[in-house]
Amino acid sequence: MKCVLTVIGKDKPGIIAKVSNLLANKNVNIEDISQTIMQSTFTMIMLVNIENATATMKDLKEELVSLGEEIGVSIHLQHEAVFDAMHKV
């Protein structure tokens, strides 16, 4: 199952590393990634595949939210179809 992961917050060193490490430790594959810094705001979108993950999507969401709180960013994980439906014009 593919999901879209978004990260937004004040830029600081280590955001990508910490998010990527959590995903790798849960056997989540990052299929695509885009990140940019707009002024001092860090933004990242990842397309991830959780088919072989060692955690459920619910547990993964909770761990990502917790990590976001720890490092001071907002992290959201959504099923790809839900993300696509929400962003159709």
- CATH code of 61's domain: 3.30.70.260
pTM (2 decimals)? Answer: 0.89
Q: For the chain, what percentages of helix, strand and coil (3-state, to nearest 5) are there?
A: 35, 40, 25
Q: Is 3 inside a domain boundary?
A: no
Q: Is 6 inside a domain boundary?
A: no
Task: Round to whole Å and give the CA distance between 38 and 53.
Answer: 32
Please write the tens of the pLDDT for every residue from 26-43: 999 999 999 999 999 999
The two three-digit tokens of residue 55, written as one number: 């955690």
Question: Of 74, 34, 32, 35, nearest to 49 (Cα)?
Answer: 32
Please write the tens of the pLDDT for every residue from 40-63: 999 999 999 999 999 999 999 999
Give the range of the structural domain holding residue 71, as residue numbers without chain letter: 11-86
Give the pLDDT score at 79.
87
